[in-house]
């Protein structure tokens, strides 16, 4: 009896797999459609889809398979460990940044050295052969799609330039569990040519967001506008803020004096420490894509988007809206 030789899945077959998955077809149905063993389809799909939010991308899956086959001796850590590779690539497919992927790995696999990698190593993997088709695909999955990777220089790595900043490690641990209202995360979204910006502040428990019109990015302007918005709320709704290392919050002491809000600063290149704000900024970018000149965006337009987001049911808060959660605690 002649043994049937295994034939690797083709790109065309993977496209069909992606299409049928999007149509919620079963693995058995897909296997029958492709005249493949069910185990082949199950193995292929299970590499990529473990959780309901995971996605299957035919192009990326095909290049991963091809890259694995052609580069079996590659010592790159991501290529050397398939579990790590799939976690990183699935994170990219979900729109996560390398910083968020690295941080999430630390959170989910704290004692597994294989599943530990720095955000810089992920960037190096993505940009290693930036002209290769796979790498071009990976670059397009990054939140900021640049054809070249510019490493942070030595001056940037010296740490925060903000005087008397309080590191996030000193923030009370109970804030992590999101059981208490009143803890915010803040950031700027930069406009076209780095010449304009808007401010965003998000409450961690409710995901309630305020989008703030700014005439410039000076620290005095940013802290004044942030304080003006937050002082409208009761004191029990404004307790702390976690910010990145942007110098626009250099006057954080003045901000604290005006509002009573203590400001903590995230570690450099650790955007995952402010994940609520990062995710919200991604939602805002759907309305104001990269290249938007915020000098031409009115306060009324910002308020429209703010209201849309605050009245949008969110799965993470049991399909309540941020407004409902925030107002419930404000009562």
Is 152 a domain residue? no
Examine the domain organization and report whether 314 and 184 are in the same domain.
Answer: yes
pLDDT of 154 strictly over 50: no
177 with 288, same domain: the answer is yes
β partners of residue 184: 203, 241
Cα–Cα distance between 125 and 127 in angstroms, integer? Answer: 6
Higher per-residue pLDDT: 330 or 257? 257
187 and 42 co-located in one domain: no
Integer Cα distance of 287 and 289 in angstroms: 6
| Same domain? 134 vs 174 | no
* Token output for 228: 């003006």
Same domain as 55, residue 185:
no
Please list the helix, strand and coil fractions of the chain in percent, rounded to the nearest 5, in that order. 55, 10, 40
Q: Which residue has the higher pLDDT, 7 or 23?
A: 23
| Contacts of the segment 104-111: beta carbons below 8 A, 24+ positions apart | 104/272
49-100 tens-digit pLDDT: 988 888 899 988 888 887 766 555 555 788 888 889 999 998 888 888 888 8
What whole-number distance in Å separates Cα of residue 30 and Cα of residue 18? 10
3-state secondary structure at position 282: helix
Clarify whether residues 136 and 182 are in a common domain: no
Alpha-carbon gap, residue 252 to 158, rounded angstroms: 20
44 within some domain: yes
Average pLDDT, the chain: 86
* Counted domains in the chain: 2
The torsion angles phi and psi of 103, rounded to 5 degrees, stand at -65, -40
The mean pLDDT of 196-205, rounded to a whole number, is 95
Can you give the residue range of the structural domain that contains 62? 11-141
- Regarding whether 179 and 135 lie in a shared domain, the answer is no
Q: Specify whether 119 is located in the same domain as 26.
A: yes
């Amino acid at each position: 009896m002649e043994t049937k030789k295994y034939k690797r899945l083709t790109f065309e077959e993977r496209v069909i797999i992606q299409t049928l998955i999007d149509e919620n077809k079963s693995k058995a149905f897909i296997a029958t459609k492709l005249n493949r063993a069910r185990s082949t389809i199950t193995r292929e799909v299970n590499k990529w889809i473990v959780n309901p939010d995971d996605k299957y991308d035919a192009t990326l899956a095909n290049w991963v398979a091809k890259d694995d086959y052609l580069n079996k001796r590659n010592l790159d850590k991501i290529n050397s460990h398939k579990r790590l590779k799939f976690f990183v690539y699935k994170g990219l497919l979900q729109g996560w940044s390398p910083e968020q992927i690295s941080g999430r790995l630390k959170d989910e696999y704290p004692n597994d050295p294989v599943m530990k990698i720095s955000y810089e190593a992920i960037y190096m993997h993505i940009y290693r052969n930036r002209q290769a088709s796979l790498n071009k695909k990976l670059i397009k999955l990054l939140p900021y799609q640049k054809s070249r990777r510019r490493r942070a220089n030595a001056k940037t790595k010296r740490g925060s330039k903000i005087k008397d900043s309080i590191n996030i490690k000193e923030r009370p641990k109970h804030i992590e569990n999101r059981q208490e209202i009143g803890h915010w995360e803040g950031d700027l979204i930069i406009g076209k040519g780095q010449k304009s910006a808007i401010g965003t502040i998000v409450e961690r428990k409710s995901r309630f967001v305020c989008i703030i019109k700014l005439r410039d990015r000076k620290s005095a302007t940013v802290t004044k506008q942030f304080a003006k918005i937050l002082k409208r709320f009761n004191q029990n709704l404004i307790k702390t803020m976690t910010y990145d290392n942007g110098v626009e919050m250099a006057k954080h002491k003045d901000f604290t004096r005006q509002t009573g809000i203590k400001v903590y600063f995230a570690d450099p290149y650790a955007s995952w420490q402010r994940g609520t704000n990062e995710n919200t900024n991604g939602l805002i970018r759907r309305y104001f894509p990269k290249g938007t000149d915020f000098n031409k965006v009115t306060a009324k337009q910002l308020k429209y988007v703010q209201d849309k987001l605050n009245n949008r049911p969110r799965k993470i808060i049991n399909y309540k809206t941020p407004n409902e959660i925030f107002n419930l605690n404000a009562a």
